[in-house]
């Protein structure tokens, strides 16, 4: 039995065509599910009773459930979600000073990339999430927060290793027949898969791209992110330049500052050379402790980076630490019960 949440509107219309049902019924149901967040055919009151019965026999509307909500002292909320097969994932709701609410979404159960500063890698990799499971995170959180303004694919997993399901969920979320979420309010973050970055550039979307950089030195980056041994900085930067040229959009580079590892003067100068004359925004991210191997850079190092990057006319922003006390901050998600 197919999960209707996994189907695009076009796929649902094809299903209905095969059943001899009019296309407008597909739009009706699509609106009930993706706009009104109704996951029970019997509650779709403007559908004929016979149709509701037919739908229940052919489709399901199974959606993940919230198992636990943890609330940080800064207001950040972490949601432990249970999938229908019993696997667990985590999603985070962030609210900034202006009241803007952002959901941080997971795309895999665990992660295969094993970045040394990230707790998710310690889970290992179990499987990719289906579109229904990605959408389910948004819809469950939106049931109690109707004013979500931004979505970031920055939770557990590498989005571009689940490319098709991530893109399908993005297209459903931005569908005018469904949630109609603004494309420019969505960011997809990757550790750097060059072929996927190039493919993403050709999708014709206005969705933002973020790349986890963390070092402008191949040796250092490889020690932090094993993916760099396969796709070094030269290949990654070629893909980023391709993306910028083909989309005319800025790319956000994420840089987690680690004391004595990637915050030295030589690291700063290499970072400036890498970013100069490129249409990028650089986010400096405080390290959130997941084990004792690394320490966050001191404020003096952070300020030195901000000053030098700004002088080099590189757009730089230092991100605030949020949700660390409930293990909801960047790099801390590991589906703890």
15 is catalytic: no
330 is catalytic: yes
Report d(CA 189, CA 264) in Å as an integer: 25
Q: Evaluate whether 256 touches 263 at the Cβ level (below 8 Å).
A: no
Q: 């990605």: which residue's tokens?
A: 134
Burial 174-189 (b: 16+ CB within 10 A, else e): bbebbbebeeebbbbb
* From 90, 133, 158, 254, active-site residue: 90
288 bridge partner residues: none
- Residue of 41, 150, 153 lying closest to 91 (CA atoms): 153
Can you list the positions of beta strands (E) in the chain? 2-3, 59-60, 65-71, 77-82, 88-95, 101-104, 108-110, 125-128, 148-153, 186-190, 208-212, 251-257, 280-286, 315-318
Report d(CA 73, CA 268) in Å as an integer: 33
DSSP state of 258: B
User: Between 265-275 and 299-311, two packed helices, what is the crossing angle to 10 degrees?
Assistant: 30
Report d(CA 255, CA 210) in Å as an integer: 11
> What are the φ and ψ backbone dihedral angles of 119, each rounded to 5 degrees?
-70, -25
Q: Evaluate whether 45 touches 37 at the Cβ level (below 8 Å).
A: no
* From 118, 191, 275, 330, active-site residue: 330
Residues 6+ apart with CB under 8 A from 269: none
Q: Put the strands of the sheet holding 88-95 in their side by side order.
A: 65-71, 77-82, 88-95, 101-104, 148-153, 186-190, 208-212, 251-257, 280-286, 315-318
Q: So which residues are the catalytic ones?
A: 90, 330
């Amino acid at each position: 039995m197919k999960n209707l949440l996994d189907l695009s509107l076009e796929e649902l219309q094809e299903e209905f065509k095969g059943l001899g049902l009019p296309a407008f019924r597909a739009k009706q149901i699509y609106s009930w599910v993706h706009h009104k967040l109704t996951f029970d055919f019997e509650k779709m009151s403007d559908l004929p009773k016979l149709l509701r019965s037919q739908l229940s026999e052919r489709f399901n509307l199974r959606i993940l459930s919230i198992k636990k909500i943890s609330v940080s002292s800064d207001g950040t909320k972490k949601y432990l979600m249970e999938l229908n097969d019993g696997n667990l994932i985590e999603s985070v709701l962030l609210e900034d000073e202006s009241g803007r609410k952002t959901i941080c979404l997971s795309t895999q159960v665990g992660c295969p990339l094993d970045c040394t500063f990230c707790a998710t890698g310690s889970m290992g990799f179990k499987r990719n999430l289906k579109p229904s499971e990605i959408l389910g995170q948004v819809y469950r959180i939106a049931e109690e927060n109707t004013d979500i303004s931004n979505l970031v694919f920055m939770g557990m997993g590498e989005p571009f290793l689940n490319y098709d399901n991530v893109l399908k969920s993005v297209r459903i979320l931005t569908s005018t027949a469904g949630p109609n979420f603004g494309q420019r309010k969505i960011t997809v973050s990757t550790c750097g898969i060059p072929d996927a970055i190039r493919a993403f550039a050709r999708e014709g979307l206005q969705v933002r791209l973020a790349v986890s950089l963390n070092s402008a030195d191949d040796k250092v980056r490889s020690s932090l992110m094993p993916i760099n041994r396969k796709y070094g900085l030269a290949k990654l930067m070629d893909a980023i330049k391709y993306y910028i040229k083909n989309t005319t959009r800025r790319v956000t580079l994420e840089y987690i500052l680690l004391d004595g590892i990637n915050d030295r003067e030589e690291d700063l100068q290499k970072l400036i050379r890498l970013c100069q004359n490129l249409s990028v925004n650089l986010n400096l991210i405080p390290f959130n402790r997941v084990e004792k191997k690394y320490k966050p850079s001191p404020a003096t190092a952070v300020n030195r980076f901000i000053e030098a990057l700004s002088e080099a006319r590189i757009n730089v922003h230092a991100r605030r630490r949020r949700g660390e006390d409930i293990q909801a901050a960047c790099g801390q998600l590991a589906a703890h019960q």
